[in-house]
Amino acid sequence: MFVDELQISVQAGKGGDGCVCFLRDAKTLRGGPNGGDGGDGGDVVLLPTTHCNTLYHLTGRGQFAAENGGQGLPQNCGGKDAEDLVIEVPVGTVVFDAERGNVLRDLDAADRPWVLARGGYGGRGNTRFATSTNRTPRTAELGKPGEARRVLLSLKLIADVGLLGLPNAGKSTLLATLTRARPKIAGYPFTTLEPMLGIAQGPGDATFVLADIPGLIEGASAGKGLGDKFLKHIERTRLLLHLVDCGDLAMAEPEAAFRVVQQEIGKHSQDLAQRPAMVVATKVEDQAARDRAQALARAIDKPVLAISSATGAGLRELTLAVWSMLTSLPRSVQV
């Protein structure tokens, strides 16, 4: 199941208490203080990773707590520091403060851990309190409490190319054709219900990541058909591929289909509306479809690449054009 938003509570570990103890053995009846310090509590750490692409594995728990530090021991032995609690999240996860709503961290790079809640320091044992005037201190510190936080994790997929279009525009078929991704494909609208990623082969050893989001409909930017939630997953893409169905069974005329999606993108984000984009006519498998693709290019006054995922026509040209465009764009998008 694809889960892209989740609230969790985290509690870092408490520091261990310091020890009050005095040296006692067969040769020493009344020795000096030798109580050790408590160990530090464990941190709660978020680790962005490519091993998962959804927050589903974190559902059902709600509360995450690191271990407490060990208590100080006699003979000046310190308590054991607790291990950190490491929570793996997908790359692209944005961390919000659940109460204030401000962004705490954007985890947009893999394998760069970030401490969400810091564990408490261990308390000092009574050895630390010995002075020239107080040789037998009977005081030790309590361990400090760990930080507690409630946060909202919100996932925005990171990809080079985002696929846009009305339902049944051929996005999932193109993703499956160009990559090893296996989205559900069928001849009816709304087959795709959750975003998917795939890695496409470019020229030579070059590769790029494609993101397929469910089809958009009029009103998507206002949440109709969950469009607002889907659109956020292409906010980080460097290039948009706007797929327009030019086949015989298209849901709408090509120009109207193009205008609807462009309108919803603009309402969702002006920055996204200005993102570099290519228009691709899909299901171009006969002369009538080619004529519709040419008419679309004239109507919108933009170049239109005609492809057919079923026959493979135009796919190599599309791949080369996408790669050529990507090489001229910045490596990342700030959102």
CA dihedral sign, ordered 174, 179, 180, 181:
negative
CATH topology of domain 1-155: Spo0b-associated Gtp-binding Protein; Chain: A, (2.70.210)
DSSP code, position 56: G
Stated length of the chain: 335
- pTM metric for this prediction: 0.72
In this structure, what are the phi and psi dihedrals at residue 231, rounded to the nearest 5 degrees?
A: -65, -30
* The pLDDT of residue 52: 79
| Domain residue ranges of the chain, discontinuous segments joined by + | 1-155, 161-327
Distance CA 17, CA 36 (A): 9
Distance CA 282, CA 167 (A): 13
* The pLDDT of residue 203: 86
Distance CA 275, CA 162 (A): 11
* The pLDDT of residue 226: 42
Here the tokens at position 143 are: 């361990």
Mean pLDDT, 10 residues at a time, the chain of 335 residues: 83 97 80 93 95 85 94 95 96 92 92 96 95 91 97 87 87 86 45 70 85 66 48 84 91 91 86 91 94 96 94 94 91 62
Which homologous superfamily is 161-327 in? Answer: P-loop containing nucleotide triphosphate hydrolases (3.40.50.300)
In this structure, what are the phi and psi dihedrals at residue 200, rounded to the nearest 5 degrees?
A: -100, 150
